[in-house]
């Protein structure tokens, strides 16, 4: 006679069988609101979101009724939007034996028009679309997951919508192809130029524009780029100096993640793993279009040394913060702050997030002053040094490390002060509670009512 499985086996199995589908149902329910993403029921889209995320939000105009041919679209829009029609006339779409008209991308029924998404473009440009979607297997950060990254972030619920509109303008690279190929010309020549990428790849977290233009490659482009033939494919011998697309989209491949040592700037990565060794050889092979292989390899080794130097500083700052957290000397403590968006002040798991692996990457809000100092050291100054190293701009390496050194000294001074204040509070047997200061205020109260 066989024995029945003990209860302690059945109970977790039953819980798992119930909780897994329940979890899927809950996530799908959350995504079913007027917004989009994991928190779609907690925010409303602005009108401009229809253009940044057309699949989710675009609604066709209802002022014109009927179905129209491509020729009719051109005839009407030559008067209404002549600039768009002129761009289309210059495009390859208009010069094919079988022209690609407006209705091929937007639909023929004027009451059910749609904005072209990557899926629409992919119906013809299959290879490019598949390459682009393949980026998803590398995870974040990636172009193909950029919109999902934005919409599923907790602070998306809380930030003023003017701010997230600005975020989505760049994150829309995942949801429409005209982030790189301007509508309605969709020129590959335009997309090959650095400006196509630098529209978004600029600013403190990713100063690709400054570091590229400060490099010898960028200086050559600024001096001579107007004379280059941008209609040529991204192949060896076609360009006197590399651009963003030449390096990151090898021979026009629409997938920028495969060759890079991914996340090398935002967390410590071992460049000598078998996978990264292969990526490194791919880079050296690309650089060998113009440089000796040994020279290219030495430049990458220099970047390895710079990264090691940067992370020694970051880990020292993390150590200081973790010691303060262990002694309860951070001010204010996590439980004394307003909850992070979508969290509750009554949550049991409230703790100070320190460093990449604890989620510091998402801690744009709800941090103490010293934690914010570390965040800026990691996310702005560290990345400035990395971008300078990766793009061949020594001035940004110096600038980034000088800023990191100053931040580290500031963190040390603040830590000493917090330690002294904490010891004083211990001696007095009480701790000052700053909740009123943090839980109230004009900005906080306005957000509470309007976001």
Contact between 374 and 411 (Cβ < 8 Å): yes
Average pLDDT along the chain? 89
Quote the pLDDT of residue 26. Answer: 74
> For 102-145, what is each residue's pLDDT tens digit?
999 999 999 999 999 999 999 999 999 999 999 999 888 899 99
Share above pLDDT 90 across residues of the chain, in percent, rounded to a whole number = 64
Residue 166 has pLDDT above 90, yes or no: no
426 pLDDT more than 90: no
Position 344 scores a pLDDT of 77
**SS3 category, 337:** coil
Q: Kindly report, residue by residue over 368-409, the tens digit of the pLDDT.
A: 899 999 999 999 999 999 999 999 999 999 999 999 999 999
Task: Give pLDDT, residue 110.
Answer: 94
pLDDT category at 3 given cuts 50, 70, 90 is low
Confidence band of 448 (pLDDT split at 50, 70, 90): low
213 is written with which tokens? 């233009």
Reported as a pLDDT band with limits 50, 70 and 90, residue 172 is very high
Confidence class of residue 451 from pLDDT cuts 50, 70 and 90? low
For 283-319, letters b (16+ CB in 10 Å) and e give: bbebbeeeeeeeebbeebeebbebbeebbebbeebbe
The Cα–Cα gap between 99 and 92 comes to 9
pLDDT classification of 58: cutoffs 50, 70, 90: very high
Comparison of pLDDT for 448 and 425, the residue scoring more? 425
Which has the minimum average pLDDT: 43-52, 135-144, 161-170?
A: 161-170
> pLDDT digit string (tens) for 262-303?
889 988 999 989 999 999 999 999 999 999 999 999 999 999
How far CA 129 is from CA of 13, 42, 54, 116, in Å, comes to 41, 32, 17, 13
8 vs 117 pLDDT, higher one: 117
Of residues 448 and 175, which shows the higher confidence score?
Answer: 175
Per DSSP, the residues of 88-145 read HHHSGGGTSSS---HHHHH-SBGGG--PPPHHHHHTT-HHHHHHHHHGGGG-SS-GGG
Q: pTM of the entire structure? A: 0.89
Q: What is the pLDDT of residue 11?
A: 74
Least confident of 36-45, 206-215, 253-262, 433-442: 433-442
Query: Could you give the CA distance from residue 344 to residue 338 in angstroms, rounded to a whole number?
Result: 8
Using one digit for the tens of pLDDT, what is the confidence trace for 18-39?
A: 777 777 787 778 788 888 998 9
pLDDT for residue 1:
53
**Separation of alpha carbons 6 and 185, rounded Å:** 68
Examine the pLDDT at 181 and tell me if it is beyond 70. Answer: yes
Q: Which comes out higher in pLDDT, residue 193 or 347?
A: 193
Backbone angles phi, psi at 388, to 5 degrees: -60, -40
CB neighbour list of residue 111: distance below 8 Å, 6 or more residues apart: 60, 62, 64, 65
Cβ–Cβ < 8 Å for 254, 128: yes
Q: Using only C-alpha atoms, what is the Rg of the chain?
A: 26
The one-character DSSP state at 341 is T
What's residue 4's pLDDT?
Answer: 62
């Amino acid at each position: 006679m066989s024995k029945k499985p003990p209860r302690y086996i059945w109970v977790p199995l039953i819980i798992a069988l119930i909780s897994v589908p329940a979890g899927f149902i809950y996530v799908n329910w959350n995504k079913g609101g007027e917004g989009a993403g994991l928190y779609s029921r907690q925010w409303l889209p602005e009108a401009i979101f229809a253009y940044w995320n057309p699949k989710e939000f675009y609604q066709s105009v209802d002022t014109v009724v009927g179905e129209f041919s491509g020729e009719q679209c051109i005839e009407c829009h030559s008067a209404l939007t002549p600039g768009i029609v002129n761009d289309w006339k210059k495009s390859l779409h208009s010069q094919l034996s079988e022209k690609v008209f407006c209705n091929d991308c937007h639909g023929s029924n004027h009451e059910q028009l749609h904005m072209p998404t990557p899926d629409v473009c992919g119906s013809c440009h299959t290879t490019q679309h598949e390459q682009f979607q393949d980026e998803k297997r590398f995870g974040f950060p990636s172009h193909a997951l950029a919109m999902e990254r934005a919409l599923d972030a907790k602070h998306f619920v809380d930030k003023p919508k003017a701010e997230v509109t600005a975020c989505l303008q760049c994150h829309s690279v995942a949801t429409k192809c005209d982030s790189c190929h301007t509508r309605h010309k969709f020129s590959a020549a335009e997309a090959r130029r650095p400006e196509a990428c630098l529209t978004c790849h600029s600013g403190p977290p990713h100063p690709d524009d400054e570091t590229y233009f400060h490099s010898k490659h960028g200086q050559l482009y600024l001096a001579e780029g107007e004379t280059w033939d941008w209609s040529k494919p991204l192949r060896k011998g076609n360009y006197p100096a590399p651009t963003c697309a030449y390096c990151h989209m090898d021979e026009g491949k629409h997938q920028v993640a495969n060759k890079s040592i991914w996340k090398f700037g935002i967390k410590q990565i071992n460049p000598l793993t078998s996978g990264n060794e292969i990526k490194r050889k791919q880079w050296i092979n690309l650089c060998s279009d113009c440089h000796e292989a040994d020279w290219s390899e030495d430049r990458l080794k220099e970047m390895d040394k710079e990264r090691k130097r940067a992370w020694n500083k970051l880990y020292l700052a993390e150590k200081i913060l973790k010691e303060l957290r262990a002694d309860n000397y951070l001010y204010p403590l996590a439980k004394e702050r307003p909850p992070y968006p979508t969290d509750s002040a009554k949550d049991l798991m409230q703790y100070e997030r320190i460093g990449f692996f604890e989620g510091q990457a998402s801690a744009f809000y709800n941090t103490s002053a010293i934690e914010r100092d570390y965040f800026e050291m990691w996310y702005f100054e560290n990345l400035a040094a990395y971008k300078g190293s990766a793009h061949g701009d020594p001035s940004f390496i110096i600038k980034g490390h000088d800023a990191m050194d100053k931040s580290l000294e500031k963190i040390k001074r603040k830590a000493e002060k917090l330690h002294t204040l904490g010891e004083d509070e211990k001696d007095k047997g009480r701790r000052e509670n700053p909740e009123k200061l943090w839980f109230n205020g004009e900005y906080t109260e306005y957000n509470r009512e309007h976001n």
